[in-house]
Structure 1
């Protein structure tokens, strides 16, 4: 598996809406971070698709190294921007 690109070394804080389905970019190549725009085509990556059960403010991983995708787990503290 190839390594994900690192678009940022801090999470993106967003309020996501109840009942909405989201596709989080796992490869780091999307021009629409943190959302997938299909840039992973031809790689081993696939987006993490999830639905919000309630409206909530979340911290989405932008370093793409999280162990809890799509949510930030603090992994960005150990990565450097490329």
Structure 2
């Protein structure tokens, strides 16, 4: 699966996960695959790729260590 397709799959996985959680609790890979008409490998690739697309503040790691940037 191309990187672009994996990136496009992430919102679909998020929606399907939320929808299936309402019915079954936390969905399994086979349930997601069935819901999205994909195979299990594609679901796993999409989930792994989705982890790389989360964003966080550039300052978050500094805050966790107790370091803060101070204006000069």
**Class of the TM-score when normalised by the shorter of the 2 chains:** under 0.3
Question: Which structure is higher in helix share?
Answer: 2
Question: Which structure is higher in strand share?
Answer: 1
Task: State the structure with bigger RCO (CA 8 A, min sep 6), 1 or 2.
Answer: 1
User: Which one has a bigger Cα radius of gyration?
Assistant: 2
TM-score by length of 1: 0.25
